[in-house]
Structure 1
Amino acid sequence: MTRPTEQQPRSGAELAAVLDSMERRPAAEHLRRHSYDLLRLRPGAPVVDVGCGTGRAVAELAARGARAVGIDPAEPMLTIARRRWPDADLRKADACALPLADGSMDGYRADKVFHELAEPERALGEARRVLAPGGRIVLLGHDWDTVVIDSDDPALTRTLVHARADRVTAPRSARRYRSLLLDAGFTEVAVEVRTAVFTDALGLALPAGLVEGAGVHAESPVPSDRAQAWLAEQRARAASDRLFVALPVFVASATAPGRP
């Protein structure tokens, strides 16, 4: 799945390189481990990672002893994942049509996926279908209106953030996690927030993505010259070690109704 914090790369290899840089950060590694813990998987338990991308979580779950399946609709990402993890079970499919039997999974994980879904309720219906009674679900993602960037022009920053959010299928899906899970019949619903903070050059991917993703053009609410000046300020901040980008990540967990 396309990830929200980057400028849109031109190829699967470029996207994979950006993802690798993000996923190798200690905070990202800690968050992934936390999401695995929330699944409460027993050794040998079947688990599906929806929107698996290059397959890192699938491999890490397998290393923990789970029988992990990776699902992604993007063939370029799956090609990279299969090359990296040749023994992994990776399948091309949509979150709303999983190629899995009813009640066949003990765990379901989706990281930065639901903002791309026009009908998240359908995806959670699929999660309910494939999860065994008592199975666990974990959703991770950020709210596109809650990006925090230090800038000399906070008003323009807000405009860019909201203009980018308006181009996302479901920009505020993460704030809906709790209600969506409850409406789908899940129990033991819990939500927490873990904030990712970027102060180095890698964090420039987010402001650069805002400028590109906001669709700066003649009809844009932000003139191109102002947007580029704003981005130049962010680059200058990075060069002088004054960049500050914060991205609250919402982590929701719940249990499928019924007990095995």
Structure 2
Amino acid sequence: MSKNQEAAEEHRDTEALLAVLDAADQMPSATRLRARSYELLSLVPGATVVDVGCGTGRAVAELAERGADAVGVDPNPWMLAVARERWPKADFREAGAENLPFTDASVRGYRADKVFHMLQEPARAVAEARRVLCPSGRIVLVGQDWDAIMIDSDDAALTRTIVHSRADLLGTPRAGRQYRSMLLDGGFDDVTVEVHTMAFTDPETLPLLARLAEPACTSGAVGRDQADGWLAEQRRRAEDGRLLVAIPFFVASASASASAN
């Protein structure tokens, strides 16, 4: 494959990922979940709030609409380029969750949505959040548990293998169920946790299922024929109006103690 072909394929992959992310963000259930995360931040007009792993910047724009001085942080320059194009007036900075571009106790709110499962050492990110948050500042973590994804299928055993093998490729796939303990271990106060389950039944969910099956196949956990057969079954279910994917999203929130910094 030539470099031009590789570049074209990479561009198609990133565009496909962007389409999946946009479709998911625009779901009513996702909109409600973001709104709940903003509510838990206890926003103060004009206060600095950082959205860690901001991606294409939708939450940053919505936080700014609510009166916050919102800053989006992401380590992916391509995502930041998309965010800056979409929201040219917003503040976006390139950085990872473990090394935020803020001084100690300078942030009133911290939000991370679908981020911690990608980290090898999420405790470092929690410690960094504690560093930048001012006393009584609020932290909100949102994310799915990758081992707990539920998919209706004729082959339950194969489905479990696909889900679990895909999860095992992530840094901390069960981060969602660990949020509460992470925040308690990090010295935060008033830690609460909620679980909101999203149900997906539309054909637009099929790319998500492909993103589960393909890595499981590439890793050798399932064979090519098994993955193709499983995806074919899910396409038939979508055509028949019988597709069902349910994903529990954990939402944990807490306050930085007066002795946090």
Question: TM-score normalised to the size of structure 1?
Answer: 0.93
2:231 is aligned with what amino acid?
Answer: L
Alpha-carbon distance in structure 2 between the residues aligned to 1:221 and 1:16: 27
Q: Is the CA contact (8 Å cut-off) linking 1:106 and 1:132 kept in structure 2? A: yes
Alpha-carbon distance in structure 2 between the residues aligned to 1:259 and 1:43: 24
How far apart are 1:48 and its partner, in Å? 0.2
- Give the ranges of 4+ consecutive aligned residues of structure 1 lying more than 3 Å apart after TM superposition: 8-14
Alpha-carbon distance in structure 1 between the residues aligned to 2:11 and 2:197: 24
2:228 is aligned with what amino acid?
Answer: Q
How far apart are 1:242 and its partner, in Å? 0.3
2:236 is aligned with what amino acid?
Answer: A
Alpha-carbon distance in structure 2 between the residues aligned to 1:82 and 1:240: 40
Alpha-carbon distance in structure 2 between the residues aligned to 1:137 and 1:53: 18
Task: Specify every segment of 5 or more residues in structure 2 that has no aligned partner in the other structure, as ranges.
Answer: 1-9
**Aligned with 2:196: secondary structure?**
strand
**Aligned with 1:98: secondary structure?**
coil
Alpha-carbon distance in structure 1 between the residues aligned to 2:110 and 2:54: 11
How far apart are 1:173 and its partner, in Å? 1.1
**Aligned with 1:145: secondary structure?**
helix
Q: Is the CA contact (8 Å cut-off) linking 2:166 and 2:215 kept in structure 1? A: yes
Alpha-carbon distance in structure 1 between the residues aligned to 2:243 and 2:130: 42
How far apart are 1:17 and its partner, in Å? 2.1
Alpha-carbon distance in structure 1 between the residues aligned to 2:105 and 2:221: 48
Instruction: After superposition, give the CA deviation of every residue in 1:188-224 in whole Å (9 maximum; x if it has no partner).
Output: 101110011000111212321111121x15x723221
Query: Is the alpha carbon distance of 1:9 and 1:119 closer, same or farther for their aligned partners in structure 2, counting shifts above 3 Å?
Result: farther
Query: Is the alpha carbon distance of 1:258 and 1:12 closer, same or farther for their aligned partners in structure 2, counting shifts above 3 Å?
Result: same
1:227 aligns with 2:221: no
Alpha-carbon distance in structure 2 between the residues aligned to 1:200 and 1:259: 48
Q: 1:65 aligns with which of 47, 56, 67?
A: 67
1:84 aligns with 2:95: no
Alpha-carbon distance in structure 2 between the residues aligned to 1:18 and 1:9: 14
How far apart are 1:15 and its partner, in Å? 2.5
Q: What RMSD, in angstroms, separates the aligned Cα atoms of the two structures?
A: 1.6
Query: Is the alpha carbon distance of 1:247 and 1:190 closer, same or farther for their aligned partners in structure 2, counting shifts above 3 Å?
Result: same
Query: Is the alpha carbon distance of 1:180 and 1:9 closer, same or farther for their aligned partners in structure 2, counting shifts above 3 Å?
Result: farther
Q: Is the CA contact (8 Å cut-off) linking 1:12 and 1:76 kept in structure 2? A: no
Question: TM-score normalised to the size of structure 2?
Answer: 0.93
Equivalent runs, 1:35-46 vs 2, <5 Å: 35-46=37-48
**Aligned with 1:94: secondary structure?**
coil
2:159 is aligned with what amino acid?
Answer: T
Alpha-carbon distance in structure 1 between the residues aligned to 2:15 and 2:256: 36
Q: Is the CA contact (8 Å cut-off) linking 1:134 and 1:259 kept in structure 2? A: no
Number of residue pairs the alignment of both structures matches? 251
Aligned to 2:238: 238
How far apart are 1:166 and its partner, in Å? 1.1
Alpha-carbon distance in structure 2 between the residues aligned to 1:235 and 1:73: 34
Query: Is the alpha carbon distance of 1:184 and 1:9 closer, same or farther for their aligned partners in structure 2, counting shifts above 3 Å?
Result: farther
2:58 is aligned with what amino acid?
Answer: R
How far apart are 1:10 and its partner, in Å? 4.5
Aligned to 1:204: 206
1:193 aligns with 2:184: no
**Aligned with 1:168: secondary structure?**
coil
**Aligned with 2:148: secondary structure?**
coil
Equivalent runs, 1:4-83 vs 2, <5 Å: 10-83=12-85
